[in-house]
Amino acid sequence: MLRQTSSVLLLAAALLTAASPASGQSDVVQTALHDYRVVTVADGFEIPWSIAFLPGGDMLVTEKGGRLRIVRDGELLPDPVPGIPEVLVRGQGGLMDVVPHPDFANNHILYLSYSKFVEGLRAGTTVVARGTFENDRFTLMDEIFTAVSDGSSHYGCRIAFDSDGYLFLSVGDRQAPPRGDLAAHPAQDNSNHHGVIIRLHDDGSVPDDNPFVGQAGAQPEIWSYGHRNPQGLVIHPETDAVWLTEHGPQGGDEVNVSTPGTNYGWPVIGYGVNYGSGSAIHGGTHAEGMEQPLHYWVPSIGVSGLAFYHGDKFPEWRGSLFAGGLSRARGDPLTIEGGRRPRGGTGFQGTGRGRALRRAGRPADHRG
């Protein structure tokens, strides 16, 4: 179900499940800093993945199976949006993010990320398309980015725009096995798009000041690399810094700030272990030339969805970074100290799989 807390912080997508009816929605939830109430806004979705607010008040919700839905005046419209491109629904793949252009009020351009089968691939890759959204219909303009990657999992697929209009996109490592020579893992190889943050102009062209432009063999779209599967991505509303959360394996979910040309270490360094056996993956937690996370979770919370809170209803949470959790049905407010270093806590629990977080009523350019 789609729910909101006090009509201010919208805890979307994973709370957008039709399968499990809300229980105790009238009950006040108490936390150390604030009490809140969870209220159902809309239900009836099938595996919802992301949400966007439009200037006129409508909400758009992607469903993993390839449908885009409209919530209008608190009601889910019965028919999905026509014109959505065909997506590859396999493994973790499907229709994922939906983000309006920063000037959507004037140009009506909408961006979608999804998995797609491309000839010659074993499974599929991450794609970003743009099109116009008018009269409740999506009209495809073009696919502006197709990742050089292959696999049925770890697509990433989060989109965010900064204040200069640059588009940032997360692409996962496609679950390439972390074994053997870890320094030769695809996430450490800039000739592909495995485990990266991408930076583009809004038409998909590559900015001249991207860090790997002109470097032989490197993909020029790459902004940072050495990531595993970033599924939280947000631009700080004051500093314009690119914040992200990424899944670890068994343990080791991370918060990072993506900076140009930086290597975040996966799978050479990290704080997780192999699933089930608990055996070691990494050579250690630190290595020269590899960035440390600003925060990490052991055990993992299954990070997905990320938002800064700058409202006035919850003053003790103002300025906090909220990180959604899939595996532990929670949302953690992280207090930002000194502009960068987060200090952890738990804000809300038991509210469903926190797939996407948005501040209600804010157009979803993922700034704040």
Q: Hey, which residues are catalytic here?
A: 154
Contact between residue 93 and residue 115 where contact means Cβ atoms under 8 Å apart: yes
Tokens representing 225 are 């690399």
For 44, other C-beta atoms within 10 Å of its C-beta total: 15
Beta-carbon contacts of 210 under 8 Å, excluding residues fewer than 6 positions away, are: 199, 220, 221, 222, 223, 260
Closest CA to 234 of 255, 249, 252, 220: 255
Tell me whether the omega of the peptide bond preceding residue 299 falls within 30 degrees of 0, making it cis: yes
Contact between residue 151 and residue 193 where contact means Cβ atoms under 8 Å apart: no
Beta-carbon contacts of 365 under 8 Å, excluding residues fewer than 6 positions away, are: 99, 100, 102, 160, 161, 235
Contacts by 53-58 with C-beta closer than 8 Å and gap 24+? 53/358, 53/360, 53/361, 53/362, 53/363, 53/364, 54/100, 54/104, 54/133, 54/363, 55/104, 55/105, 55/363
C-alpha to C-alpha distance for 365 and 233, rounded to whole angstroms: 10
